[in-house]
Structure 1
């Protein structure tokens, strides 16, 4: 397997853009008949709050070690209190890294984080927030929940208020990736 990320080629990129950046790139056609399953298996979400292993970092290190010893593949991992924090931190732990955002470190992680990084904030909402002087989660936190709900509707306002504080009540389980 070749990695062309140094050439600026990334997953999900249009082929024409990838070829512009990397003219020697060869595109190999899919052979769907050769695959036994068409299932994505590159992510797993585990609730380890009831684990008997001494600490989540040790548990995750052991899981990553076992993955490598069994398959020869490296694995990245994020340990955080909820799905929002895990999703945000997945960008910082790759490749082959491990990131732990303890409850005490949530503010340190979130406050400087750009609002466009938050799930559910698209271009239009980002521009509306920027007009109010909001670029990051720390600035977003300055607004009372009621003001956000008034300006952006009830559900969106509550989402903005919660996410800027690292609050996400979704349970760990089967989710659909919105990337």
Structure 2
């Protein structure tokens, strides 16, 4: 619980979500080839009949039942399950899906941090006031990723990045685990120390030699003993074992674009519904522009039809602006070539070529 003199609003801001795609590469491959659903799928180098020298990049959960896992020698994976479907890594495909996933997540975040091709942290906006509302938000995120990208993810909700990260892996695949501040120790203490991020096989073995195998034992271990064995890492491990993490969720790179996407409940070619959705998405993008004090020069439209065919169109406007009318007008113009017949599954609106709005530019834009 927050300290007596800690503002409740500050405490709420600590609500953190960690979103992790389930068996990402393999899931994307199964999405592309539905006939592979339910089969053991291994993505990695060529097993060459059991003599391949590469490793497994990832594998489906069906393959994991045979003992296959990431970084396992591909030759061993073949021996464990020779009937598995072995596929080469298609990074271009996965990177494209990753971009789509991250765009979805940004749309739900006040603060956002992508940490790999298939996982990210986010802090929700002020409309999410407690962990119950955060859980509902997580369900919306899971549903939107499923609708837009056809894959599942697992979400952890916690009072900091550490707890959210551990929680996201607690009920994979397609899981949701919420850990409230008052439940942190009850959640952590029964776990094996290897569940704490950064504690690998060697450290786990060293801790085992000290008689420490659970997080509770690590949390209660004398700090001087840990520091004498592991140095500064000993203090960090003890803090994590007690659920402490002071790291902030923050974007690693400058924002290059802002976008929002929406999937229709049912595929539609009703122009009223399509234009209405575009207006709502445009307003959301505009709100983010104002919040971050950005101007833009490029407007982007994304459309996806009922057969999952997806098209992107962009147009650059003559001046730097943050005008909502410019966004709405441009996306409507871009949409015109797609009207007439086919049903829309999804539409998206984005702005790019961003720059910060300075006072001089503000005067020019407001005058125009």
What TM-score comes out, normalization by structure 2 length?
0.42
Whole-angstrom CA distance in 2 between matches of 1:44 and 1:122? 21
Asked if structure 2 preserves the Cα contact closer than 8 Å seen for 1:78 and 1:93, the reply is: no
With a CA cutoff of 8 Å and minimum separation of 6, indicate the structure with the bigger relative contact order: 1
Q: State which drifts further: 51-60 or 95-104.
A: 51-60
Aligned partners of 2:189 and 2:216 also within 8 Å? yes
Contact map agreement 2:158 2:180 (CA 8 A) in 1: yes
Q: Which moved more, 1:108-117 or 1:98-107?
A: 108-117
Change over 3 Å in CA distance of 1:98–1:149 after alignment to 2: same
Distance 1:70 1:36 in 2: 14
Distance 2:94 2:189 in 1: 45
Provide, for residues 60-85 of structure 1, a one-character-per-residue CA deviation record: whole Å limited to 9, x for no partner.
11222222233333222111122221
Q: Report the counterpart of residue 113 of structure 1 in structure 2.
A: 191
Q: Is the 8 A contact 2:145 2:152 kept in 1?
A: yes
Name the Cα RMSD after superposition.
2.7
Q: Counterpart in 1 of 2:227?
A: 149
Partner of residue 51, structure 1: 126
Distance in structure 2 (CA, Å) of the matches to 1:117 and 1:174: 25
After TM superposition, the score normalised by the length of structure 1 is 0.79
Q: 1:41 to 1:129 in 2, by over 3 A?
A: closer
Q: CA deviation at 1:21?
A: 1.2
Q: Pick the aligned partner of 1:76 from 154, 161, 173.
A: 154
- Quick check: 83-92 or 95-104, which moved more? 83-92
**Deviation digits for residues 72-115 of structure 1, max 9, x if unmatched?**
33222111122221222222131111110111111011111111
CA apart distance, 1:41: 4.1
Q: Distance in 2 between matches of 1:36 and 1:57?
A: 27
SS in 2 for 1:85: helix
2:158–2:179 Cα contact (<8 Å) kept: yes
Q: Greater CA deviation, 110-119 or 99-108?
A: 110-119
Partners in 1 of 2:207 and 2:95 — Cα distance?
43
| Higher-strand-fraction structure | 2
- CA shift, 1:35, in A, is 4.7
Task: Write out aligned runs for 1:66-145 (5 A).
Answer: 66-145=144-223
Residues 23 and 80 from structure 1, CA distance in 2 versus in 1: closer, same or farther, beyond 3 angstroms? same
Distance 2:207 2:68 in 1: 31
Larger radius of gyration: 2
**1:32-65 C-alpha deviation (Å, 9 max, x unpaired):** 6x659576642221012x4303521111112222
